[in-house]
């Protein structure tokens, strides 16, 4: 937030329902609804100023859900920025370093199928096919939480999608030697230049 503020941007963020200071129970549908409500609130107060959506990690799922809906109603943001994104929650859960049981028989049935059947998909890979605004993906090669290959795979899907044919799609990797891992991309001295 401090980096963005220092560049002259106003930053608005909110706690997901059931997290932080927000009441309720988290759900993909509910978090997407809340994000849509926050976007509408901001848009009503921002005048002609550009509005950008930034999602990090799990927030990339909320961000692409939001931006897909905005594009469907023909009110897209000025750009979408995804930091450390995954393709979908199922692939992320399978690739997550804490999923040490993924090699055991029945892992999909026991762990992944309940996630999907409960309605949690966060399908970034599907959503990007319906998004029509500029897209910037930032990912550190040494990310231990969301593997780099998932961010690169998402970029490849977006870059070939017809929905982006009139918009810029960019992937910015951060080399392992930088040590930015999952949550330190903001430390990059190049970030202000990248965002401009």
pTM of the entire predicted model: 0.88
Going from N- to C-terminal start, the domains of the chain cover 1-25+52-191
Residues 43 and 70 sit within 8 Å (Cβ to Cβ): no
Residue 27 pLDDT more than 60? Answer: yes
Residue 58 pLDDT more than 50? Answer: yes
Residues marked active site are found at: 57, 143, 182
CATH class of 1-25+52-191: alpha beta
**pLDDT, tens digit (0-9, with 9 covering 90-100), for 144-195:** 999 999 999 999 999 999 999 899 999 999 999 999 999 999 999 999 999 9
Alpha-carbon distance values, 39 to 22, 27, 52 (Å):
17, 18, 10
Q: Helix-strand-coil percent breakdown of the chain, rounded to 5?
A: 45, 10, 40
Q: How many C-beta atoms surround the C-beta of residue 129 within 10 A?
A: 15
């Amino acid at each position: 937030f401090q980096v963005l503020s220092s560049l002259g941007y106003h930053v608005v963020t909110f706690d997901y329902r059931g997290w932080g200071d927000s009441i309720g129970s988290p759900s993909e549908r509910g978090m997407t609804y809340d994000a849509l409500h926050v976007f509408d609130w901001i848009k009503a107060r921002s005048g002609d100023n550009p509005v950008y959506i930034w999602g990090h990690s799990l927030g990339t799922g909320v961000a692409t859900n939001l931006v897909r809906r905005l594009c469907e109603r023909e009110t897209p943001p000025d750009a979408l920025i995804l930091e450390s994104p995954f393709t979908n929650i199922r692939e992320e859960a399978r690739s997550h370093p804490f999923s040490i049981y993924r090699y055991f028989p029945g892992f999909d049935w026991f762990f992944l199928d309940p996630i999907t059947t409960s309605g949690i998909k966060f399908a970034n890979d599907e959503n990007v096919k319906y998004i029509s605004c500029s897209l910037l993906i930032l990912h550190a090669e040494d990310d231990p939480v969301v593997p780099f290959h998932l961010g690169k795979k998402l970029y490849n899907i977006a870059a070939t999608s017809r929905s982006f044919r009139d918009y810029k799609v960019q992937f910015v990797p951060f080399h392992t030697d930088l040590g930015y891992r999952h949550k330190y991309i903001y430390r990059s001295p190049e970030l202000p230049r990248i965002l401009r």
